[in-house]
Amino acid sequence: MAELVRDLGTIGAVGGLHLLAGVYGLTLYREGAAWNLSGYTTPTYALKIRALQTGAAVVPNGTIAVVSATAGTISYTPGTADPIHAASGPYEARVWVTPSGGKTVPSDLFRFDIAEGPAST
């Protein structure tokens, strides 16, 4: 069975360089359902992104924070020079969760694109 890939659509960007800006919220999914993160002990989170046009990995430098562990909702705050650009999109990504002393677990894949305009929240 093929993996379901969620499409987040187009996210606004600020400035002429089309840099990702603002704080973005999203719900993580695992095996097609909202992912309850509350069972993980002191987890760390990593966002892995790939530009679909080139297949190249993009290394973001922002911060992931849990908004609601039970609902699987997180926020992503881009770093100062986050390398996610409209010209390089669309992107495919997933969040990897690593609990303390445990095995790393991936979210379902999601896709998004970047456009110039106000930041989405």
Per domain, the residue ranges of the chain are 6-115
For residue 86, pLDDT over 50 is answered with: yes
Averaged over 46-75, what is the pLDDT?
A: 91
Distance CA 99, CA 54 (A): 32
CA 21, 61, 115: angle at the middle one, nearest 5? Answer: 30
CATH architecture of 6-115: Sandwich (2.60)
For residue range 16-54, what is the model confidence (pLDDT) as tens digits? 444 455 677 889 999 889 999 999 989 999 999 999 989
Q: Look up the pTM and report it.
A: 0.77
What band does 88 get if pLDDT is binned at 50, 70 and 90? Answer: confident
Averaged over 106-116, what is the pLDDT?
A: 84
Count of positions (residues) in the chain? 121
Largest pairwise CA distance in the chain = 43
Match 């911060």 to its residue by tokens. Answer: 63
Averaged over 65-70, what is the pLDDT?
A: 93
Helix, strand, coil tally for the chain in percent (to 5)? 0, 45, 50
